[in-house]
Amino acid sequence: MTTKKLYDIDAYATEFEARVLSCEAVELVSKDGDKRIAYQVVLDQTLFFPEEGGQTPDQGTLGEIEVMDVQIKKDVISHYLAQPLMVNSTVKGMIDWKHRFFNMQQHSGEHLFSGLAHRKYGLKNVGFHLSNQIVTMDFDKPLTDAQIKEMEWEINEAIVANVEIKTGYPSKEELANLEYRSKIEIDGDVRIVEIPGYDICACCAPHVHRTGEIGMFKIQSVQNYKGGIRISFLCGFRALEEYRKKSEIISELSGILTTNQENLAEHVSKLKTQVQSLKAQLSNAKQTLMESKLTEIPVEQKDVILFEQDLETPVMRNVVNKLMEMHDGVCGIFVGDDVEGYNYIIGSKIVDCREIATKLRDEFDARGGGKPQMIQGSLIAREDAIRDCLVKLHA
CA distance 276 to 274: 5
What pTM was estimated for this model as a whole? 0.74
The residue-averaged pLDDT of 232-259 equals: 91
Q: Which domains does the chain have, with CATH numbers?
A: 4-95 (2.40.30.130), 101-244 (3.30.980.10), 301-393 (3.10.310.40)
Model confidence pLDDT, tens digit, residues 40-81: 999 999 999 999 988 999 999 999 999 999 999 999 999 999
- Helix orientation angle between 264-294 and 236-257, rounded to the nearest 10 degrees: 60
Please state, in angstroms and rounded to a whole number, the distance separating the CA atoms of residues 79 and 70: 5
Per-residue model confidence (pLDDT) at position 183: 60
What is residue 79's predicted lDDT score, i.e. its pLDDT?
Answer: 97
Q: What is the DSSP string of 367-382?
A: EEEEETTEEEEEE---
Task: State pLDDT tens for residues 16-38.
Answer: 999 999 999 998 887 777 888 99
Q: How far apart are CA 51 and CA 70, in angstroms?
A: 6
Over the stretch 252-282, which tens digit does the pLDDT of each residue have?
A: 888 888 888 888 888 888 989 999 999 889 9
Give the pLDDT of residue 115.
95
Confidence of residue 184 (pLDDT cuts 50, 70, 90): low
